[in-house]
Amino acid sequence: MSSIDQNKIAKNTAMLYIRMAVQTLVSLYTSRVILDALGEVDMGIYNAVGGIVMMFSFLNSTMSTSCQRFFADEMGKGNYAELKRTFSLCVVVFFFIAILIVILSETVGLWFLYNKAKTAGRMDAAKWVFQLSIISFIFTIIKSPYHGFIIIKEKMKVFTYLSFFEVLGNLVIALIISHNSGDRLILYSFLMLVVNIAVSSFYILYCNKFYDECRFKFWWDKQRFMELFGFAGWNMIGSLSVICKSQGLNMLLNMFFGPVINAARTMAYKVYSTVQLFSEYFFTAVKPQILKSYSIGDKQGMLKLVMQSSKFSFFLLFIVSLPILLETDFILNIWLKKVPDYTYLFTQLVMINALIDSLANPLATSMQAYGKIRNYHIVCGIFTLSILPVSYIVLKFMHYPPESVFYTSIIISAIAIYVRAVFVKKSIGLSLSDYFRYTLVPIFAVTITAVAISLPAKNYIHSHFWNNNIIQSLAVIVFSIFISILTISLIGINRSERKNGWNMIVNYIRSSRKPD
């Protein structure tokens, strides 16, 4: 019998989508107000300078992934005494990571800020943003083991409640800076720090109150540390490659084109990060099941879940991506008072990249569960890391326009998906033919069919119906969503998956009436 708890996945996914609905509506409005209050230059500076600190976050994300894997392993075995010791050890490790990141930021990071970053004459404000970003990131590091523990415990209500607080906090910040006559960039950075401190403190206090395993007591075991660090050491390559792909490209754009281009990228990624939640929250609910099923020996159940979650992650993202790709101009003009140059094209390209990347998480998580990840992260990390030097070459020596870095990322990301699947095949036994047949073929079929129907329909609607551009664009959006759902239902999922999906919805409705 499979160890996969489909009902728990459904319930946790539903809780996360409640979070997403609130977060999406408020964050989109907040982003509009903040861009209007800060302006393109200051918005670009905030994200470029903050990105310098984020370049060192690969250390944090590496250990966070490692800790979650070991937490899941001990929970799967029911060894709660060892889980408590492992948690305390993780807290110690994250403390030293915080110290290391401060050192790197105040040396390498400051050098880059003074010598390479373009701040459009706003260096004094950029210094404040940089230092406040360091402090904010320290709190992010400290909360990481507590955040990871809640994920493994699958307490998704906690994320929902915190999201209400976080998005409302960001809304208050937007309203405050829009009515402030001082240096809004510095004030914005400070208020964002305050919200991050409050959220981080809640994670720590919540875990200490409800979980004995999270009550820190200094414990050190060299062998256990070496296991953690050995797993993390190879994970570090993968985390570094992801950071280079995101923040590294952001810094490249700043070096070659200045903060206004950073503002365009920021708004494009705001759309990306908002839409990506449709697949990310689903996978957040699935991830613990993948880790736990492998830890108890249900390898076949895990591989089936990897293939299904890859497909559903893509479909969930595709449903909202297609209307955005078709009506990018309309959506951005409705959302923002003034759309920075290049935002339209950047948004379309990052959405295509997001669809490709949605296939990566289930494959990567299966390798984390397997544990022997050295070769996987070396090879996949090299592919992803290559995005940065290749982008530098096309900008520096070939003098390509800024969008070329996104084309580079799309091509290399697509190749990396195949490489990831090959590693899962060799390590765990994933059948590439099954992965192609049950995951990629339905994805290609749905994408080609939905685009082939929606694109001509868009042109027809704009040419033959109504004289109002708003009504025409809304009609295209509704039609493309309908076609996406219809094609997914008919050719994207099989009869068993449709039946399981319906049962999960019914069981969630029933279980939601009972206490958690």
Distances (CA, A) of 440 to 162, 191, 307, 359: 35, 44, 9, 9
Q: Which amino acid is at 483?
A: I
d(CA 265, CA 80): 45
Q: For 255-267, what is the mean pLDDT?
A: 90
pLDDT of res. 337: 81
d(CA 16, CA 72): 20
Q: Which tens digits make up the pLDDT trace of 217-253?
A: 887 777 777 777 666 656 666 666 777 777 888 889 9
How many other CB atoms are found less than 10 A from the CB of residue 164?
Answer: 14
Report the percent of the chain where pLDDT is more than 90.
34
Which residues, including other chains, have CB under 8 Å from residue 343's CB and lie 6 or more apart?
A: 264, 267, 268, 332, 336
d(CA 285, CA 412): 28
Q: Which tens digits make up the pLDDT trace of 316-353?
A: 889 989 999 999 999 999 888 888 889 999 999 999 99
pLDDT of res. 22: 63
Report the percent of the chain where pLDDT is more than 70.
85
Query: Is residue 157 predicted with pLDDT exceeding 90?
Result: no
Q: For 46-64, what is the mean pLDDT?
A: 70
Packed helices 259-295 and 360-370: angle between N→C axes, nearest 10 degrees: 50
pLDDT of res. 465: 80
Mean model confidence pLDDT for the chain: 83
Burial of 455 from C-beta contacts in 10 A (0-12 / 13-18 / 19+): middle
pLDDT of res. 94: 80
pLDDT of res. 508: 46
Asked if residues 49 and 123 have their Cβ atoms less than 8 Å apart, the reply is no
Asked if residues 429 and 299 have their Cβ atoms less than 8 Å apart, the reply is yes
Query: Is residue 170 predicted with pLDDT exceeding 80?
Result: yes
**Any idea how long the chain is?**
516
pLDDT of res. 9: 55
How many other CB atoms are found less than 10 A from the CB of residue 466?
Answer: 12
**352 closest CA partner among 239, 268, 235:** 268
Query: Is residue 144 predicted with pLDDT exceeding 70?
Result: yes
Banded pLDDT at 516 (limits 50, 70, 90)? very low
